[in-house]
Structure 1
């Protein structure tokens, strides 16, 4: 049985759903399952013809709201030919297929390896596999679970990954040679905004004031992360020097809870679901959501090398389109429970569905006896604001990760490809921002992206 998006969408007996028992190569994970093999196996004359079927299948499924039972029942009732005519009468199928083919072109490479770290920030990259967004654009993507971001960075630099889930500071750091060999990297889309929290061990229920954290040991997932920079910002605003008054250790996200339980950490600023998992296991409590520090801050992103984007522009475009499409699907609150179930399995997050639902729906227990309703605890917005890149660079400069003169605007615009994202958003019928810079207020302090060096100089606590 072939990949489900290649089944006849007008056939009431064809089940287009993926699942552990569906029997197709995609779900069984058999070798040789790629675009070229499907062309041969399904009797298509070319990869273009196969891609047209993928588009047709996606459109028909969308007409029925991705409700497979409704599609099959309707197809059996009307018959395939009548259903095809009915869909064609209300949707210009031929024009849609032509537009997508003309816009993207055939991918130069259809079989891709994309790395991800198992956290809810990676939701668009992960869910695009089981929910069919990669297939929709003619791609056969293996999403590969990765232990942490040092591994993700190194595998990306070594070209083991075609693209990867990265933290928003990472493409900037890699491009500038901070922490690795300087290699031009691109970030054409953000995955999520907000979605992190500061968790403290239950031993510290009486230490809710960060001024009381002197000597604490905190975990962050990577040096070049919003987690590191937001934790530093937060404790510095409370008068603590993060390099002198607390210890900050790099801990891979899946190891955060175990280290908290063992007493190796007093707390951490981590991605979910590991904040909620600490509450679930009654080890820690949520001190503060990062949206309370900076509402709308970026966290994770889709990134790739400049070489990948320039040598395989059609593949790059198809991958970006799949992920922007998935990101907008994840943005809609009504899809969050479906997504929670899709990304929970062992090969993805390996977490209980209720833990993920608490993160994605924003209705959660905080570990202090309260049930909170914060719908935007995490959100999904693909647009890579240049001003976000400039802010990250100011914090890299503030804490000594980069030195000397910094071309804040030039680096941000080289790495954060707002133009590419805006084009894809427009193609998908979305409305991208008309500007790429804006000011932010973070804990009462205004950041003006036009004055980055003055912003760095304005902080009393920074690297000497």
Structure 2
């Protein structure tokens, strides 16, 4: 498979290295960054210099093809103080180059850290003046991000993968997952008329909504249906519907159900039009949903801004993760200019004590979780589903793409600065609907038959 990015000097080419500069997977390593500035920021300095010296894309490609990345880097180093540039980039903890920022978000609880960081002062604490902008849908988020109307964005975690691969867009656009916004926090909600049709094998002919084609919701729903013998492309209809419109479509009988984000699962119960069939944490406990996404160019163009923004998001995420803070957070994000939802609905989601629409009150403290670490194994599973369902037509180097897009080293560095525990590796095994997923052996998940194997 060709590399995602044209420049082999891109920082992502060596994301497998530890932040200490050693070639190992020790993301939890406590060693300070090396003095020579190697690591993600140092490599970003190399690519910035390379683009500055050779601004023409064709010239850069020609040089790399003819001489190779190592030779070109050596030549640049002989005439330009790359060591100093790397060190400056690695020490990118100074005053943000750009303080006034715009971040787009969709009004769902998955965006909690991005939203709450505004009224609760986390952005200001890190020297930033951030405007969070409520946006109508995921396609709008993507398009405004590509146009750089947004400096960063709340995105579904598969979106930066798709954008970087050039899937669903005109050409590959390097975006990255700097942090995971939330884990779990989704559900399959059905219309009340289907209370006696809880077996998915009986769902042929159903019309489902998901937020976007490139979403965990789409992939989890497809996987859930397939595991029950339902072909998601032939036996049911799956359409993209913006989350704020899901409950209205359920009420109007335009859909039979949706796999969507909260608070809209709970809002369907609150409004008396639907019930929660299953929480997605029961399908894959700890699965990712949304992400804090940035253009990869931000790392090299405004490294201080990137660092401050990531620290603000990580700090807000850590605050939201604590159960004792959930009611306060619910109050902060329920307001009209954020989620615009009844605080009772949002609190039920965040605290995990909720009515399920079937006459019971459930107590599931981790109904939604907040862990900023972008596990690359999550990205690998997402890529297998893109391949399985025909969104990606060619073979992939799953690990390489995951490392380029899910910025585990950067997130780990920010987490350490906040005093948070950092995993020792960027990958882990997962259990999805009772089956083990090994990120080192993903091909079987991409090639599985509809009924599973």
TM range (shorter): 0.7 to 0.9
* 1:300-379 aligned within 5 A: 300-379=290-369
What residue number does 1:167 align with?
156
Shift in CA distance, 277/460, structure 1 to aligned 2, threshold 3 Å: closer
The Cα of 1:145 is off from its aligned counterpart by 0.1
Per-residue CA shift, 1:345-389, capped at 9, x if unaligned? 110000000000000000000000000000000010000001000
C-alpha contact (below 8 Å) 1:174/1:184 kept by paired residues? yes
What residue number does 1:39 align with?
none
RCO higher in structure (CA 8 A, sep ≥6): 2
What residue number does 2:19 align with?
none
Per-residue CA shift, 1:315-361, capped at 9, x if unaligned? 01100000000000000000000000000111000000000000000
* 1:22-61 aligned within 5 A: none
* 1:214-253 aligned within 5 A: 214-253=204-243
Q: Any idea what SS the aligned residue of 1:342 has?
A: helix
The Cα of 1:189 is off from its aligned counterpart by 0.4
Question: Is 1:112 matched up with 2:101?
Answer: yes
Question: Is 1:275 matched up with 2:261?
Answer: no
* 1:121-270 aligned within 5 A: 121-180=110-169, 181-270=171-260
Distance 1:103 1:111 in 2: 18
Give the one of 446, 452, 455 matched to 2:436. Answer: 446
Per-residue CA shift, 1:107-142, capped at 9, x if unaligned? 000000000000000000000000000000000000
Distance 2:277 2:178 in 1: 32
What residue number does 2:408 align with?
418
Q: Give the gaps of 5 or more residues in structure 1.
A: 1-101
Distance 1:440 1:382 in 2: 17
Distance 1:371 1:263 in 2: 26
Distance 1:216 1:206 in 2: 14
Distance 2:392 2:317 in 1: 31
Distance 2:353 2:409 in 1: 35
Return the TM-score normalized by structure 1. Answer: 0.77
Per-residue CA shift, 1:199-236, capped at 9, x if unaligned? 00001010000011100000000000000000000010
C-alpha contact (below 8 Å) 2:99/2:128 kept by paired residues? yes
**Aligned structure 1 segments of 4 or more residues deviating by more than 3 angstroms:** 458-462
Q: Any idea what SS the aligned residue of 1:104 has?
A: coil
Per-residue CA shift, 1:248-274, capped at 9, x if unaligned? 010000000000000000000000000
The Cα of 1:455 is off from its aligned counterpart by 2.5
Distance 1:265 1:240 in 2: 17
What residue number does 2:449 align with?
459
Per-residue CA shift, 1:24-62, capped at 9, x if unaligned? xxxxxxxxxxxxxxxxxxxxxxxxxxxxxxxxxxxxxxx
Distance 1:435 1:458 in 2: 27
Per-residue CA shift, 1:140-168, capped at 9, x if unaligned? 00000001110000000000000000001
Distance 1:346 1:145 in 2: 10
C-alpha contact (below 8 Å) 2:178/2:292 kept by paired residues? yes
Give the one of 268, 284, 293 matched to 2:274. Answer: 284
The Cα of 1:459 is off from its aligned counterpart by 3.5
Question: Is 1:437 matched up with 2:445?
Answer: no
What residue number does 1:93 align with?
none
* 1:62-77 aligned within 5 A: none
The Cα of 1:407 is off from its aligned counterpart by 1.2
The Cα of 1:461 is off from its aligned counterpart by 4.3
What residue number does 1:30 align with?
none
Q: Any idea what SS the aligned residue of 2:177 has?
A: strand
Shift in CA distance, 277/260, structure 1 to aligned 2, threshold 3 Å: same
How many residue pairs get aligned? The number is: 361
Return the TM-score normalized by structure 2. Answer: 0.79
Distance 1:459 1:153 in 2: 31
Distance 1:267 1:460 in 2: 21
C-alpha contact (below 8 Å) 1:286/1:366 kept by paired residues? yes
C-alpha contact (below 8 Å) 2:92/2:303 kept by paired residues? no
Distance 2:361 2:443 in 1: 42
C-alpha contact (below 8 Å) 2:101/2:129 kept by paired residues? yes
Question: What is the root-mean-square deviation of aligned Cα atoms in Å?
Answer: 1.0
Q: Any idea what SS the aligned residue of 2:133 has?
A: strand
Question: Is 1:383 matched up with 2:367?
Answer: no
What residue number does 2:25 align with?
none
Distance 1:274 1:209 in 2: 22
The Cα of 1:429 is off from its aligned counterpart by 0.8
What residue number does 2:22 align with?
none
